[in-house]
Structure 1
Amino acid sequence: MRHEGHDARDEAGAPRQDEVDALVPGWAAELPASLVTVLELSKRVSRIGGLLEQATRAEMAELGLTYAEFDVLAALHRAGPPYRLKPSDLTRSLFLTSGGTSNVLQRLARAGYVDREADAGDGRSRWVRLTEEGRRVAATALDASGRAHSDVMAAVPEETVRRAADALREVLLVIGRRRVR
């Protein structure tokens, strides 16, 4: 079965191959073409995400942060002044479990990067807020993450990145609300 869909060509005009292309013949021998395409997409998204995460993890390790700690600091920073969110909102936005969020928040509180404050409007609820030191560390970590992402993607033309981001938005708009069993 001939694999269609390549549009990147090498200097000789042959389709360029990535590591996922090596998997396609095995899938194509056993599966319908439409499923092969979905597997190619899934594998490439996973591989790109993994490479970006690996580079970010290395930068965060140099700052003494785990990837999960960085994620929480970034989410609180992204919330803008007064840099606070409810733990349940953090859990939802980061796709973590409530237990996982709680563990990360405890570590960040011990480090002095976040504190918890009562919600004046709801005595049962609390806010998680970046401390001044937490804002400093979050800004430093966001800069490091940006550099890591830029380094990984440096050789990819900006227009290619834009097209990929736009195409993946279309996919996510369709499948993003799907509940996983």
Structure 2
Amino acid sequence: MNDNHTQSTNGLMDQIDRIVTLWQRARPDLNFDSTQVIGRVVRLEYFITRRVLQDLARFDLNVGEFDVLAALRRHPPCFQLSPNQLQSMVLISSGALTNRINRLESRGLVTRAQADHDRRGVIVTLTDDGFRVVEEAVKNHLAAEAELAGTLSAEEQQQFAALLKKMLLAVED
């Protein structure tokens, strides 16, 4: 990327443009094209996370708790999963998952019971209250995502999603 990028956004400079400009002056021998991309992704992640946390706070949830409720909600009709299944979906340690389940269970949003098919196994189930909370939280979450992505046209969103997917596929395990 070069000065054409700044010109294509009507001469407006964001924080990344300012940082890159300073680096180009200090180290004209280096290429900062990747900073134009990665810096913006990192900066967007900050603003997206801040917005998500604000929205989830309305439901007295943190991101991890929302992830557990959402994983259960995506598994109708019983809305239940084993801790191992949940752990693979939310990609955290078993100890961290146990803490999340404990907090959600204490609030009456999930229950834990012995699995019918395995006396040693446990099954986590979304309660009616948990279902109501996650339904509202998901609606708010999707509205926030739409608002954040709304500066891009539908075609631009598809292009951006495809480019981000390409980058993720190259680094995901």
User: Which residue of 48, 51, 56 maps to 1:52?
Assistant: 48
In the alignment, does 2:93 pair up with 1:97? yes
In the alignment, does 2:125 pair up with 1:129? yes
SS in 2 for 1:123: coil
Unaligned runs of 5+ in 2: none
| Correspondence 1:111-126 to 2 at 5 A | 111-126=107-122
| Correspondence 1:100-179 to 2 at 5 A | 100-177=96-173
Unaligned runs of 5+ in 1: none
- Identical-residue share of aligned pairs (%): 27
- Alpha-carbon RMSD: 2.5
**Residues 122-151 of structure 1 deviation map (CA, whole Å, 9 limit, x = unaligned):** 332212110111111110110111122222
Task: Give the aligned partner of residue 2 of structure 2.
Answer: 3
TM-score by length of 2: 0.84
- The whole-number CA distance in structure 2 between the counterparts of 1:89 and 1:31 is 50
SS in 1 for 2:39: helix
Deviation at 1:26, TM superposition (A): 5.2
SS in 1 for 2:120: strand
Letter matched to residue 123 of structure 2:
W
- The whole-number CA distance in structure 2 between the counterparts of 1:4 and 1:88 is 50
Q: Hey, which of these two has a bigger chunk of helix by percent?
A: 2
- The whole-number CA distance in structure 2 between the counterparts of 1:27 and 1:157 is 32
- The size of the alignment, in residue pairs, is 171
Equivalent pair of 2:65/2:104 in contact (CA under 8 Å):
yes
TM-score by length of 1: 0.80
Task: Give the aligned partner of residue 16 of structure 2.
Answer: 20
Equivalent pair of 1:85/1:128 in contact (CA under 8 Å):
yes
**Residues 6-60 of structure 1 deviation map (CA, whole Å, 9 limit, x = unaligned):** 286144xx5x432222222455528853xx4444433222222222221121111
